């Protein structure tokens, strides 16, 4: 009899619970982490942040002469800007393509990025992994004849990043660059067509729309004798529609193959230049 | 002894009665419609969760706001920031059905609910008109109302330099199945 009473009471209470407010549960606890970095680039280094399908990112990147010129060059501003204009598009949520043009050497470059893994909020997948490849061609008129093949440069990297918490993300990216032609600019200068490196990047969110980021590209192994490791320190600000990035960087370029092999100023000397990027995303679908 | 058996049976019967009177979503869709001059867009979610208890007229719906998809990643991100979905992940309604409903009829019947809508941590008493229909598949719910963002202290976001209309039309469409024991 007691058992019957217990079962009856249990049934009554359990079933009545269903009449109270439903327990709130997240729809997708394994949802991907949406914002590891604020944009696709830090200063020049790419990030695992990809555009979603149908989104177009337009980006204008500038930097100036090095600050060592002092007030005579207004800390490099008077030396003229290197400018890269670039567009990237989300073919799918995991594949981005892009095109850019840099004013130095009139280098035109093409990018393909493919996301292999996307970190999830539940940590079921602990990191995001994106493969990036870039091919560039210097199109400027040269004093010496260069064939199409000789004008080409290439870059490949595997970017591995993790958003550690709501305000801190880190990225490591083994990378390789290759130039079909390397010009010897100094006597007895060692030259190499292929250079390996490790891209390190991180960001600290100050608020939802402001962050401080860094990038550092140490060369691994052989390097041109005047090549220094590139570094940049960036302040990022997201407004309603734009992401502005203001930075000090040692490299003169915005394409990673050039940053890795042709940076000749040492950030920690210290010697660097001022620059800024402007990003704007448009939804095309 | 008889009294005890009668009491137990009454409890079980009452529980069974309550089961038959409760309906929960198997599929539910919520849509909001936004306007800026010369441009309209909508956001959709297939993750509307709801429970209607016809016995005590309780109506309870909620949605995980991070599942709303406007078809534009940048806009979705701005929307989530505007709604502060990290801190307040749900939009939710809890109230009562205040109109009559004949569960024995398969006709579409007008329905009115009154209760509290909560979003971004702010609550407001609202009244929503819609329809209920008892179908072979379950209880079909359709409703729409205007949500004014300012009522919930939500600053309307901007598209380019133009502010989004604070009045957002919300539509829900859900099929609720009898709650099984």
- Give the closest of A18, A240, A283 to B158, CB-based: A240
pLDDT band at B5 (very low <50, low <70, confident <90, very high): low
Residue A92: closest C-alpha in chain B: B73
Range in A77-86, A177-186, B160-169 with the lowest mean pLDDT:
B160-169
Cβ pairs bridging A and B (under 8 Å): 100
pLDDT band at A5 (very low <50, low <70, confident <90, very high): low
A166 contacts chain B (CB < 8 A): yes
Confidence (pLDDT) at B11: 47
Contact across the interface for B73 and A51, Cβ inside 8 Å = yes
Contact across the interface for A8 and B18, Cβ inside 8 Å = no
C-alpha span between B67 and B33 (Å, rounded): 15
Contact across the interface for B12 and A240, Cβ inside 8 Å = no
Contact across the interface for B73 and A22, Cβ inside 8 Å = no
Q: What is the pLDDT of residues B69-112, one digit of tens each?
A: 988 777 888 888 889 998 999 999 999 999 999 989 999 999 99
Pick the more confident residue, B126 or B181: B126
Domain positions in chain A are 36-283
ipTM of the complex: 0.78
Q: What is the pLDDT of residues A73-110, one digit of tens each?
A: 999 999 889 999 999 999 999 999 999 999 999 999 99
pLDDT band at B30 (very low <50, low <70, confident <90, very high): very high
Residue B52: closest C-alpha in chain A: A19
Domain positions in chain B are 2-178
- CATH fold of the domain at B2-178: Lipocalin (2.40.128)
Contact across the interface for A24 and B81, Cβ inside 8 Å = no
- CATH H-level, domain A36-283: superfamily: monomeric porin ompg (2.40.160.40)
For the stretch A247-250, contacts whose Cβ atoms lie closer than 8 Å and that sit 24 or more positions apart, written own/partner, are A247/A43, A247/A274, A247/A275, A247/A276, A247/A277, A248/A67, A248/A272, A248/A273, A248/A274, A248/A275, A249/A43, A249/A44, A249/A63, A249/A215, A249/A273, A249/A275
Say what the pTM is.
Answer: 0.82
Nearest CA among A107, A166, A164 for reference residue A137:
A107
C-alpha span between A243 and A61 (Å, rounded): 12
Nearest CA among A248, A242, A283 for reference residue A268:
A248
Range in A140-144, A252-256, B117-121 with the lowest mean pLDDT:
A140-144
C-alpha span between A88 and A18 (Å, rounded): 50
Contact across the interface for A15 and B19, Cβ inside 8 Å = yes
Mean confidence (pLDDT) of chain A: 91
A17 contacts chain B (CB < 8 A): no
pLDDT band at B38 (very low <50, low <70, confident <90, very high): low
> What is the 3-class SS of A97-108, one letter each residue?
EEEEEECHHHEE
Q: Count other Cβ atoms within 10 Å, centred on residue A164.
A: 11
């Amino acid at each position: 009899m007691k058992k019957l009473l217990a079962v009856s009471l249990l049934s009554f209470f359990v079933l009545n619970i269903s009449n109270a407010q439903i327990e709130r549960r997240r729809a997708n606890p394994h949802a991907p982490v949406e914002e590891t970095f604020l944009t696709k680039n830090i200063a020049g280094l790419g990030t695992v942040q990809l555009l979603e399908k149908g989104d177009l990112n337009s980006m204008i990147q500038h930097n100036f002469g090095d600050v060592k010129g002092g007030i005579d060059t207004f800390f490099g501003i008077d030396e003229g800007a290197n400018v890269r204009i670039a567009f990237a598009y989300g073919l799918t949520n995991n594949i981005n393509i892009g095109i850019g043009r840099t004013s130095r050497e009139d280098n035109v470059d093409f990018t393909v990025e493919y996301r292999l893994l996307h970190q999830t909020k539940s940590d079921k997948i602990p990191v995001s992994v994106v493969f990036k490849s870039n091919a560039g061609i210097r199109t400027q008129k040269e004093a010496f004849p260069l064939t199409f093949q000789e004008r080409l440069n290439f870059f490949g990297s595997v970017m591995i990043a993790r958003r550690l918490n709501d305000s801190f993300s880190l990225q490591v990216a083994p990378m390789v660059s290759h130039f079909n032609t390397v010009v010897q600019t100094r006597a007895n200068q060692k030259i190499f067509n292929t250079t390996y490196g490790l891209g390190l990047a991180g960001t600290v969110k100050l608020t939802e729309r402001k962050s401080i980021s860094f990038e550092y590209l140490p060369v691994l192994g052989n390097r041109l004798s005047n090549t220094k490791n590139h570094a940049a320190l960036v302040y990022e600000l997201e407004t309603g529609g734009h992401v502005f990035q203001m930075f000090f960087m040692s490299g003169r370029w915005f394409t990673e193959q050039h940053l890795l092999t042709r940076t000749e100023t040492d950030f920690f000397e210290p010697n660097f230049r001022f620059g800024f990027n402007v990003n704007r995303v448009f939804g095309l679908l | 002894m008889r009294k005890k058996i009668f009491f137990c049976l009454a409890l079980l019967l009452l529980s069974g009665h309550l089961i038959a009177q409760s309906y929960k979503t198997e599929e539910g869709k919520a849509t909001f419609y936004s306007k800026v001059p010369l441009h309209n867009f909508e956001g959709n979610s297939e993750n509307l969760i709801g429970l209607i208890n016809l016995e005590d007229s309780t109506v309870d719906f909620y949605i995980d706001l991070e599942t709303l998809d406007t078809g534009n990643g940048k806009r979705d991100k701005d929307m989530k920031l505007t709604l502060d979905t990290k801190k307040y992940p749900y939009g939710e309604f809890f109230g009562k059905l205040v109109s009559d409903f004949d569960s024995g009829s398969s006709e579409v019947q007008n329905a009115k609910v009154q209760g509290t809508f909560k979003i971004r941590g702010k609550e407001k008493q609202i009244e929503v008109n819609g329809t209920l229909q008892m179908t072979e598949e379950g209880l079909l719910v359709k409703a729409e109302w205007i949500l004014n963002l300012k009522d919930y202290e939500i600053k309307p976001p901007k598209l380019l330099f133009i502010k989004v209309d604070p009045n957002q039309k919300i539509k829900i469409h859900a099929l609720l199945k009898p709650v099984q024991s």
